[in-house]
Amino acid sequence: MQKIMEVAQVEGRVKWFDPAKGFGFILADEGGPDILLHANVLRNFGQSSVADGARIVVRVQQTQRGAQATEVVEIVPPEGEEPTQIEDVDDGDAAVIAALPMLAARVKWFDKGKGFGFANIWGRSEDVFIHAEILRRAGFADLGPGEAIAIRVIDGKRGKMAAQILSWESAPRAAEDGTPADAGSPAGSEDGGPDGTAD
């Protein structure tokens, strides 16, 4: 029986990732065989999906079945593609959007085929529109119902819409309710706060 080799940090790009199958593969910059990226490893980073072509830094272990990612260190959205223009978001002032608070939210639903979906900000009832391009810019490929995210929201011509999205775990700022981004998930309970506790 072969021994499992030590873990090494590898930089590369996502070849493809299928949230439905629960895995995908990474191409290392240094070459070599594809590296398996399992959905559980990605979820530990705080995302349920990752965009094809995204830059990624992972810790990799060589096993009997080949190279497998054991930890995601960093994800950088794919570059080189012409970004789709989003009315209201791209017409706005980038500095003003960047200054908006990151809000704890939960995905209501997202349809990759339709290219959009909705989320609810914790403690508020109105829906927030999420365009697929906002996901792509953040390095996501898809979102699952109930997934915890952090979003910056603007008032668009047709209502509230997400101008930026991050995984809940990687959100750099406190949520508007004052809960730090590492205090727990806003998907804890229907009636509870970000950590699932009651108001």
Q: Per-residue pLDDT averaged across 160-165, rounded?
A: 90
Model confidence at 80, pLDDT cuts 50, 70, 90, reads low
Which residues, including other chains, have CB under 8 Å from residue 193's CB and lie 6 or more apart? 122, 123, 177, 179, 186, 199
Q: Per-residue pLDDT averaged across 56-65, rounded?
A: 92
Query: What's residue 157's pLDDT?
Result: 82
Residue 13 has pLDDT above 80, yes or no: yes
86-138: per-residue pLDDT in tens? 665 656 677 888 888 889 999 999 988 888 899 999 888 889 999 888 888 88
Query: What's residue 23's pLDDT?
Result: 92
Query: What's residue 187's pLDDT?
Result: 41
Structural domains for the chain: 8-76 (2.40.50.140), 82-199 (2.40.50.140)
DSSP assignment, residue 137? H
CA distance linking residue 105 with residue 186, whole number of Å: 6
The percentage of residues in the chain with a pLDDT greater than 70, rounded to a whole number, is 75
Euclidean distance between the first and the last CA atom of the chain, given in angstroms as a whole number: 54
Residue 197 has pLDDT above 50, yes or no: no
Q: Which residue has the higher pLDDT, 94 or 81?
A: 94
Query: What's residue 60's pLDDT?
Result: 94
Residue 173 has pLDDT above 50, yes or no: no
Instruction: List the beta bridge partners of residue 69.
Output: 60
Q: Which residue has the higher pLDDT, 113 or 55?
A: 55
What does pTM read for this prediction?
Answer: 0.58
